Structures are given as C-alpha cells and as structure tokens.
Structure 1
Amino acid sequence: MTTATPITTPFGAQSTAAEVIDGIDLTGKRAVVTGGASGIGIETARALAGAGAEVTIAVRDTDAGARVAADIDGTVHVAPLELLDAASVHAFTSAWEGPLDILVNNAGVMAIQELTLTPEGYETQFATNHLGHFRLTLGLHEALAAAGNARIVSVSSLGHRNSPVIFDDLHYAFRSYDPWSAYGQSKTANVLFAVEATRRWADDGITANSLMPGGIMTNLQRHVPEAQIERMKQSATMRMKTPEQGAATSVVCAARPELEGVGGRYFEDCNEARVVTKREHSGVAAYAIDPDNARRLWDVSLELL
C-alpha cells in the first residue's frame, strides 16, 4: 500500500550501502541480486549479506560470481542467469525453492551503439533491462508471495527521462535508433514495472520500488564511447559516486524500515524523488509513474513473452 507522503530517510547522496544497512538485521531473510558480480551489484550483495541475509547473486559469468562471493563476508551463493535467454531464466526460477524476501533486479546494459535485436526481434536494451527481469520476477512470484512481506527493487536510472515507453514502436522498426533513447525507454519500463507490480501484488504482501543509483563508473558503460564517458565525468549536473555510494539507494529500497509496506515509488539519493513534467537534473518523469502506462506495459510485456 502507498500513501501520499514522500518517503524520507536520514541518508543522502554521499551515503554508502554500509551506512544504510547499519543496525538492520536480515537474519533469516533470502535475497537475489541480478548482476551481482560487478559494479553496484557487488556492494548491494555485500551489504545484504553483511546484515545476515542469505544472498544469491545471479550472473552470466559464474566464475566472476564465485570470486565476488569469496570476497564477501556472509552466506553468498552463485547461480547462472542470462536475462536474454528464456531457458536460462526458467532454469533459475524453476530451481528456486522456498520463500524469497528480497529481489534486486540490478543487471543491465547501457547505450548499445548500434540497433541490436534478439532472435525474437526485440531491441536488446529493452529485452535485457525490462523483459528479462519481467520474466524472472513473474517466475519468482510464488516465492515472493510465500515470504509474506517481500520487496522487489527495480534499478532504473535518470536516463529514464530520455524517453517514455514508445508502445507503437518498441523495437525501432520505424523510428531511427538512438542508443540513449533506447536505454531511456528500458529504464522507464523499470519504473513502470514497479508501479504495476505493487498494484497487482500488494495483497500478496509484495511491494516494488525503483531507483536511480547515481552516476557510477562501472562495467555498465562498456558500450559508451570514451569521449562520452569523459563528458559524463566532467558534467556539472552528474554527481559521480563510488560503487558503495551507488548501491546505497538500492539497499534503502531493499531493507530500510521506512519503506515497509510502501511500493510504486521512485527513489534517488536514498529518498523518494519528486515528480517532474519536464527535463530537470533530478526527479522522476510523470509518464514513468503513470498507472495507465504501467498497466499497458504489463499487458504488452505478457504478450511479448
């Protein structure tokens, strides 16, 4: 259930995941972090495991996952997951047993420079960042419901303000491809997913929130040209964070008591963001939390799968 009051915490842009999780006991809780072998995924998994949760990092590269798991204090498992491969997602969800308290949909790709389609004909960023996680979460719904008060964390980006979901041309069959608008569309989808998942599943005790982690230099930028990366680093409007700081808002959504029973919200710098109706340096675009858009995306996503 949600209320009209914006959610605030004692934390901000410079807070770290360790500071956010300090004093929280997750003993007996089970968590999944996709993309948990790099970037903010590592620090998200580290914080949750450090608080006592049993964490599974779901990754494409299980060798990298094993190295990360060995470096984290706590109980950390590694499982293979390729979000673009329906069989891989099905294998992961079919193998899961028992309740799941926290699902952090963290993995993603950014700004693939040329239009790339999956074998099904779906634009790759949308297929990875949204559809893969959509399929995964649907497959884990029973486990999330069994937890009684499960949380889904959908890692979005300020890049969502580059584009709404263009329902009439999701996969660039007619419009010219742009890597940043495609990324933006997929990140808007991450926000809308949290809105609709909460509406549909709140009666199962499941809430979902989305977030902007901040500007962090990680493997996510592997498709971005070096010149663009330098401009991002030098931008006065892009406050660069460490991975530990970047993971903080994910951990707020996953574990902070201020969010108990709260869903369908978008967070940045560890607090709920304001809604904006034009491009600004912060905030969530109104189209990204629109309930009608959220319902439509859910139905379209079911059809695509």
Structure 2
Amino acid sequence: MPEGDTVLQTAKRLHSALAGQVLTRSDLRVPRFATADLTGRTVVDVSSRGKHLLTRIEGGLTLHSHLRMDGAWRVYAPAERWRGGPSHQIRAILANTTHTAVGYRLPVLELLRTRDEDQAVGHLGPDLLGPDWDAATALRNLLADPARSLGEALLDQRNLAGIGNIYKCELCFLARATPWLPVGGLPEPTAVLLVSTAKQLLEANRDRPVRITTGAHPRAGAALAPRTRRPSEKLWVYGRTHRPCLRCGTPIRAAEQDARPTYWCPHCQTGPTP
C-alpha cells in the first residue's frame, strides 16, 4: 500500500531514470490527455508531495499522478519485458533512450501547467518527508476537530501529508490510543510525541525496501515505544490479527474504519472500539 515513504522512493526511481533526458516516447492513456504529445521535451525532475507524484517537463508542464491503493510506476531497460500488469492496465508511458517508465492502474493522471500545481497539491498539509515540514502546523491541523477520531485525522492529508493506513495503525499503537479515540482525548504531550514520531518513522523508512516500525531500526518509534522483544517482527499491529501483541501478548484485533482494515491491541490501547 503506497504511503509517503513508498511514493518518495518511486519519485527517486523515476527521477533517476527520466530527469535530464529527452522523451522519445509519450503515451497518456486517459481520454482527457490521450492526444497530448510530450515527445522531444526534456524531463526536468520528478518529486513527491505527500502521496502525489509530480513529473515536471520542459515547457512549464507537470504530469501529476497518484497511486492510491493499486497504482504503480515501473521502470524498465529498453529490452526488458514489462511485468507490471496486463497492457490494458497501462495508463502512461514515458521513455527515453535508456529507460521506459510505465504507469499501471493510475487512478489519477493529469497534465497541467507547472504554475498550477497547487490545484493538485495545494490542499495538502505539511509533508512529513518534504522541505515544507512544520511540526507545529501539523499538530494544529491534527487537533483542529477534537471530536474527530484519531485514525481519520491521521489519514486526512490536509492535516499532514504522507500517512497511510499502515502508519495510522502503527502510530495509534505507539500512542497507546485506539484509532477511534476522539483526537481531542489525546493528552497534549502524547499528541506532540505522535507528530514527531510520525516524522521519525517515515524518515527512518524513506530509503528502506522493507518498512519497519517496531524499533528494529534505531530511529523508528523511539519516542513512544521500547524496542520489540522480537526484532524479526517489522510491524507492531498492522496485519497481525489474532497474533500476540509484541508488548503484552494480548491477541491483536481488527475491524474496519472508514472502509479500511484497522488493527489494535485491546490491552495496550485505550479508547472506543467498534
């Protein structure tokens, strides 16, 4: 499931393959932009903003894409077989003489003027992995609606950008609060630590192929939780239904929150549950 760290890694791969190179092939397979031809233009850079990807192209153009649940960008060498999915799932092809980037199942793909990027990403809160990160603003945003559940507030990209469902569950565990706790019920010191830990976790995993939140990485989760007794376990609660909590041994439970599978420890985390 793409979250801020995964999207940043995707941006880096695309930037390495495309930036500074002239496009020799351009194919946008969405009706609105099917006739757009970027061939002959140089890719200036590729960057991420929260969970959004921005491919900036010579002439003041930006190709904006979002992966959501199932989207993916794959980079291939000229003679390499494309393995990202069947051809009918391809939404974009950008190629130069050395690499081909193929976008599969992209639910959002639009071409806009670079000066108008705010139309696509201007609503986002501070980016946990971006140069605009501001912990105080993120905290104010997160606590702006005290009655809102903590899980929903963490997933709202207008509050802080980059947290997905995995980090939502892990951060709630580290804060010892259920995802259904009204965010106003968090003690202020815990809320402050929650925001700083979110930053620590994404930073710790920004270059890792496997996401770790349990403290096996020296920086991951250090602010709110001790190291796990089982370093082989990568995540505290996400995807661990019925398995023992790494902190107390109680079986992890799961339920849906806003149509997303949500995991928590009924002993370690306090607050409402379904």
Do they fold alike, i.e. is TM over 0.5? no
Report the structure number with the largest CA radius of gyration.
2
Task: Name which structure has the greater RCO, CA cutoff 8 Å, separation 6+.
Answer: 1
More strand by share: 2
TM-score for both structures, normalised by structure 2 = 0.30
TM-score for both structures, normalised by structure 1 = 0.28
More helix by share: 1
